[in-house]
Structure 1
């Protein structure tokens, strides 16, 4: 099989040889013979010796392996229905048979560890972006063959999330983030700023009757990150890739901690341990909660309950900045042990085309990471999807380096303590940072 780089080199050699021949003059001072030019023209499939841009694109297209056939792993439910739809369309387009098997995105990376080297794994499989570190370290996935196209056409968060050490590996299929979910019967216009949210929530509060203006999981870094990053805090430096640069005790993180303490003091005087997902859902569906910070996974239950609700981006902070939420990215990856890497890469590209991702949205409601679909009228008219996508445009992916696993608990515990005890944030955040650094050192 000729790889893409080898093919490009071959093309350059052909053009160089032709150029040298064209420049050699005969005795009459004329350029190379008509016979030579005809031979070159024939080999390029064009009338003229010099290939047009369109012809060059054809020449540089990856050679698809003869007799290729593919296996694809994807989730069950609507994801499986979509994958089967894509496979059928791909086969119609390229004549390459595709078998879709149900293997969940959480199981696929582990299964590939054994099935991949044995030649039994899928050619293309779905995985969450935070698994990319181990997949790359194990040599199990190939880089994205069309990287520049994806960097140009996909949301930045989806590209960063599926990139490792500057190399793009993923073909993003969906992006998740959280936003502000509000009860339409209680809110005329969603707040543009956190000051407005606090004011509206305070006016609605009736704690004696279990009425709350606002709730969120106050000891969960996943949700806290919006405020932390909005004020200038960060988990790891260099786009969350530098384990030696941790910004979870800087001034920005301290400002986020002080905002949380203000929320506790003014509108949500419950202990951290008394706030949970089930309580928020119950209060919201009963019309006793005005605002909740939550994600697309909450939507099905809200729709089933019949409550009237909307989704809006997180309100701006008092520094004028948009909170920068964490996002999760689902993506297809190509198995490094595939017999048909060119066909598999073409399939992953086809699956993440505009038409296929729009179909995925129609079947599952999952947010498409293609920039062009942000302007699609069908999606723009869907208030829920457009609300989450508006926030997703300001999101950053959760770090995908292995050291992230030791960050969640120390930071979450620090925020839970400063929330419950109204403690000075800086010493607690310093202690959390030390705990993280110690854990990273022990793992090396």
Structure 2
């Protein structure tokens, strides 16, 4: 009897507890959310440290103020030279606890920094990725994972002297004919640094060559396409321009860029292939330039220029990764990206901005935006470091008549494979 009474009392207590919970379930759920919100607020930092490129941070005065108003988080902005100093400074300051929460990098540095844990993987919604061109998101990814959001893109384009060329040719074949008719003495119709693989890839890639094959968003360094039929055909096309004297010998090698710029600035060249970094120098020389995407080949295939992407990244050492990512998503919204372009003149890869008057009415920006649609991101895996020198050697031996394309490219690929095996094998 005593045992039965005890069991009855336990049962009544359990039922009472369940009854007490029932009417308050909704209120209880609300309390849980409130606790979660409180936890989020507790995680919210007082400030985020942002590293932007040299002489490029003024736009953050306005955009940063909006972010602070919305989140209550202050921003500490520091300018660091991006191309070389940014990653080295991160390696020192990150582990010491004095580094940034957010930094900006050229995309070809992502692979090595991601491997070392210096930058963090991002987890963003698809609608955030959809703001940008597919190629720019690919550039900000490594081994199938996203490590940054794009802020700007650059790629070589077609630049012409309006006093010597009325309008850009419709195809590369038309440009070739124009160049033959307008090359004499120290006057040239078109010049390009095609002994430099960065620029030569436009032709080689446009005809079917590639550096590393892409498989499911990841680059395969074991699959090299620099001596396939397309690469050989592209190199033969390049060889033709040098063989026929359409390019001077003085634009081969390390001094080729300054020699080409000098000729163009002197009004001795009707058109060149160069990047947006050259616009101001040409204008300062008194040249009225026109700018467009590079002409396609006669078969409709476009020149596949290498595209460089600058992006925003979260430091792997940041204690505020969640809020750092929210900052990156905020500053790359279309409106904020447009404001950055207006102040820095670096073209954002936000697809909604291509037809915006701020870019569409800017001839240089429009050309970069259009050509970027046909460009391919420079490979951002560490193995890319083994490619530049062998390809430069191959191209220079071809354009100086010391080797034929197939042989030169075969030797380059063999050297690249040996370098990868020696320096990057697991």
TM-score, normalized by length of structure 2?
A: 0.87
Which deviations, in whole Å up to 9, do the C-alpha atoms of 1:91-128 show, x marking residues without a partner? 12322100001222221222222321222110001111
Contact 1:178 1:325 in 2 (8 A): yes
Q: In the alignment, what sits opposite 1:17?
A: none
Structure 2: distance between partners of 1:411 and 1:304: 33
Alignment of 1:96-245 (within 5 A): 96-105=73-82, 106-207=84-185, 210-238=186-214, 241-245=219-223
User: Unpaired runs of 5+ in structure 1?
Assistant: 1-32, 46-58
Partner SS for 1:214 = coil
Paired residue for 2:282, among 302, 322, 328? 302
Do residues 373 (structure 1) and 350 (structure 2) align?
A: no
Partner SS for 1:117 = helix
TM-aligned CA deviation for residue 217 of structure 1: 0.9
Across the two proteins, how many residue pairs are aligned to each other? Answer: 395
Structure 1: distance between partners of 2:247 and 2:202: 21
Do residues 396 (structure 1) and 370 (structure 2) align?
A: no
Alignment of 1:72-91 (within 5 A): 72-77=50-55, 79-91=56-68
Contact 1:358 1:373 in 2 (8 A): yes
TM-aligned CA deviation for residue 378 of structure 1: 1.6
Which deviations, in whole Å up to 9, do the C-alpha atoms of 1:108-154 show, x marking residues without a partner? 22222232122211000111111111211111222223152343121
Structure 1: distance between partners of 2:174 and 2:245: 12
Do residues 411 (structure 1) and 391 (structure 2) align?
A: yes
TM-aligned CA deviation for residue 323 of structure 1: 1.0
Contact 2:193 2:252 in 1 (8 A): no
Contact 2:142 2:218 in 1 (8 A): no
Do residues 326 (structure 1) and 306 (structure 2) align?
A: yes
The 1:68/1:343 distance shift into structure 2, 3 A limit, reads farther
Partner SS for 1:81 = coil
Partner SS for 1:253 = helix
Q: In the alignment, what sits opposite 1:52?
A: none
CA RMSD of aligned residues (A): 2.3
Do residues 257 (structure 1) and 235 (structure 2) align?
A: yes
Contact 1:198 1:267 in 2 (8 A): no
TM-score, normalized by length of structure 1?
A: 0.84
Structure 1: distance between partners of 2:353 and 2:283: 24
Q: In the alignment, what sits opposite 1:273?
A: 252
- Which stretch shows the higher mean deviation, 289-298 or 134-143? 134-143
Contact 1:84 1:100 in 2 (8 A): no
Structure 2: distance between partners of 1:120 and 1:44: 35
Do residues 358 (structure 1) and 335 (structure 2) align?
A: no
Structure 2: distance between partners of 1:385 and 1:391: 10
The 1:425/1:85 distance shift into structure 2, 3 A limit, reads same
Structure 2: distance between partners of 1:269 and 1:375: 36
Paired residue for 2:291, among 304, 311, 314? 311
Structure 2: distance between partners of 1:131 and 1:83: 24
User: Unpaired runs of 5+ in structure 2?
Assistant: 1-20
Which deviations, in whole Å up to 9, do the C-alpha atoms of 1:308-360 show, x marking residues without a partner? 11111111124320011101111111112212112111111111111221111
Contact 1:230 1:322 in 2 (8 A): yes
* Rg larger in structure: 2
